[in-house]
């Protein structure tokens, strides 16, 4: 018998239905240096504060090495939790330390929230389109996705009818410079959303990795702040990935105590706690207001990059294409004329060494349009943005 053939391997139903993410497949291709990639969602390494992080890690390992290298509490390193609570309080609300849980990247929070809320068949409300990584996390728990309609201003609160929201476990919302559309929810819609969810008793998961990267327009109040005022249950996710570096794998959840204590039990079973040395070093790096000098540089860089992309789109894309004008973050969402299939366009683009992400995988619970795509602009040099967008424009062809 050939022992090398694993004929008896039986994976769970959950694992069997997993498919590899469309984006991961594209990213493999884009690793080739000759490819100009607008596909990735990576922050720019130019924004990684290497000397400051090195100094912070050194200091922690010099002075607090025993606790930094030891197991820690599941809830997280207390001074960092206090720092997160204080950051939230800048908006004029009181967040207590025990309403904060430190996680190993906000992606971990999405997985844990799936475990907390979703039974097979549970209804889960997501924007159409929404963040692919969240759709993947939630999918493992076999929900029934219900798409919430969006328009050029983002999620439409009036669409949250009794029918659409019946028995839903939560609504997942990205209010600032959404991934993938770059859209920001305006104040009236935020207010309408939290009021409607308070009426329905529907928890809101507010995922906000990009909120600190605003480079245009006026800051909007968080759903957490607005939700608290009207009695909505808001679970807010934040991360150090876009303000410091994603390799740190450090994020946080701010939520009502009963949610935090359940998440703590879940996290215990997942990874016991987030790396202490990382939590302590990041706390050391940010405790004295470092982000206040660091973030303006990152915002300026992203704004410049966004400007290059918008100029190139105007110069090279046909007049019947529409695209978003983000006020922050890393993404522009393009809608081409009906009839263009961006999955096919991608094949043609890759043949000419340009990559992007077709829009279809970002939709769940609704038939996806085929004529949308996401462009990420922060890591590509100006000249390559122009040349890459020109290639795409040629492949799309003139307006009809």
**First vs last Cα of the chain: how many Å apart?**
63
Is 246 near ligand PMP (CB under 6 A)? yes
Cβ neighbours of residue 253 closer than 8 Å, sequence gap 6 or more: 100, 101, 103, 106, 109, 235, 236, 237, 259, 260, 263
Give the shortest CB-352-to-ligand PMP separation in angstroms.
Answer: 27
Residues 99-158 that bind ligand PMP (CB under 6 A): 105-107, 131, 133
The residue at minimum Cβ distance from ligand PMP is: 105
- Applying CB under 6 A, among 174, 213, 298, 309 the residue interacting with ligand PMP is 174
Give the shortest CB-233-to-ligand PMP separation in angstroms.
Answer: 19
Residues in a beta bridge with 322: 335
Please report which helix (H) or strand (E) contains residue 125, including its range.
strand 123-127
Side-chain half-sphere CA neighbours of 335 within 13 A: 12
Cβ atoms within 10 A of the Cβ of 77, count? 23
Q: Between residues 23 and 396, which has the closer beta carbon with respect to ligand PMP? A: 23
- Applying CB under 6 A, among 49, 72, 203, 251 the residue interacting with ligand PMP is 251
Cβ atoms within 10 A of the Cβ of 173, count? 25
Give the shortest CB-246-to-ligand PMP separation in angstroms.
Answer: 5
Please report which helix (H) or strand (E) contains residue 354, including its range.
strand 354-355
* Interatomic CA distance for residues 175 and 221, integer angstroms: 10
Is 206 near ligand PMP (CB under 6 A)? no
Q: Between residues 302 and 317, which has the closer beta carbon with respect to ligand PMP? A: 302
Q: Between residues 239 and 278, which has the closer beta carbon with respect to ligand PMP? A: 239
Q: Which of 397, 344, 338, 335 is nearest to 372 (CA)?
A: 335
Q: Between residues 37 and 179, which has the closer beta carbon with respect to ligand PMP? A: 179
Is 180 near ligand PMP (CB under 6 A)? no
* Interatomic CA distance for residues 324 and 315, integer angstroms: 15
**x/- string (CB under 6 A) for ligand PMP, residues 28-57?**
-------------x----------------
Residues that bind ligand PMP (CB under 6 A): 41, 105-107, 131, 133, 174, 179, 207, 209, 239, 241, 246, 251
């Amino acid at each position: 018998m050939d022992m090398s053939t694993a004929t008896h391997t039986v994976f769970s139903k959950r694992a069997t239905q997993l498919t590899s993410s469309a984006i991961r497949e594209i990213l493999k291709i884009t690793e080739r240096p000759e490819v100009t990639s607008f596909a990735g969602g990576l922050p720019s390494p130019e924004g990684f504060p290497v000397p400051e992080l090195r100094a912070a890690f050194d200091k922690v390992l010099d002075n607090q090495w025993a606790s930094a290298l030891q197991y820690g509490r599941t809830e997280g390193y207390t001074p960092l939790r206090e720092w997160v609570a204080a950051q939230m309080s800048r908006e004029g609300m009181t967040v207590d330390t025990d309403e904060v849980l430190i996680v190993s990247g906000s992606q971990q929070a999405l997985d844990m929230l799936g475990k907390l809320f979703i039974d097979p068949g549970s209804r889960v409300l997501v924007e159409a389109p929404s963040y692919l990584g969240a759709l993947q996390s939630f999918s493992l728990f076999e929900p029934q996705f219900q798409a919430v309609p969006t328009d050029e201003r983002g999620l439409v609160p009036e669409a949250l009818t009794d029918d659409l929201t019946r028995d839903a476990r939560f609504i997942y919302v990205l209010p600032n410079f959404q991934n993938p559309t770059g859209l920001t929810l305006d104040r009236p819609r935020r207010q309408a959303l939290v009021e409607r969810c308070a009426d329905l008793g529907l928890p809101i998961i507010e995922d906000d990795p990009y909120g600190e990267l605003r480079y245009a327009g006026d800051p909007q109040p968080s759903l957490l702040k607005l939700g608290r005022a009207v009695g909505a249950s808001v679970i807010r996710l934040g991360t150090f990935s876009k303000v410091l570096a994603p390799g740190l794998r450090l994020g946080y959840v701010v939520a009502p105590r009963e949610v935090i204590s359940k998440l703590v039990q879940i996290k215990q079973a997942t990874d016991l706690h987030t790396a202490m040395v990382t939590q302590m070093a990041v706390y050391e790096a940010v405790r004295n207001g470092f982000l206040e000098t660091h973030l303006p540089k990152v915002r300026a860089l992203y704004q410049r990059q966004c400007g290059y992309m918008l100029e190139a789109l105007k110069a090279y894309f046909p007049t019947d294409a529409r695209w978003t004008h983000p006020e922050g973050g890393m993404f522009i969402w393009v809608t081409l004329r009906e009839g263009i299939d961006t999955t096919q366009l991608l094949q043609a683009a890759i043949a000419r060494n340009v990559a992007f992400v077709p829009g279809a995988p970002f939709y769940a619970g609704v038939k996806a349009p085929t004529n949308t795509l996401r462009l990420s602009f922060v890591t590509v040099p100006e000249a390559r943005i122009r040349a890459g967008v020109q290639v795409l424009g040629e492949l799309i062809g003139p307006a009809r």
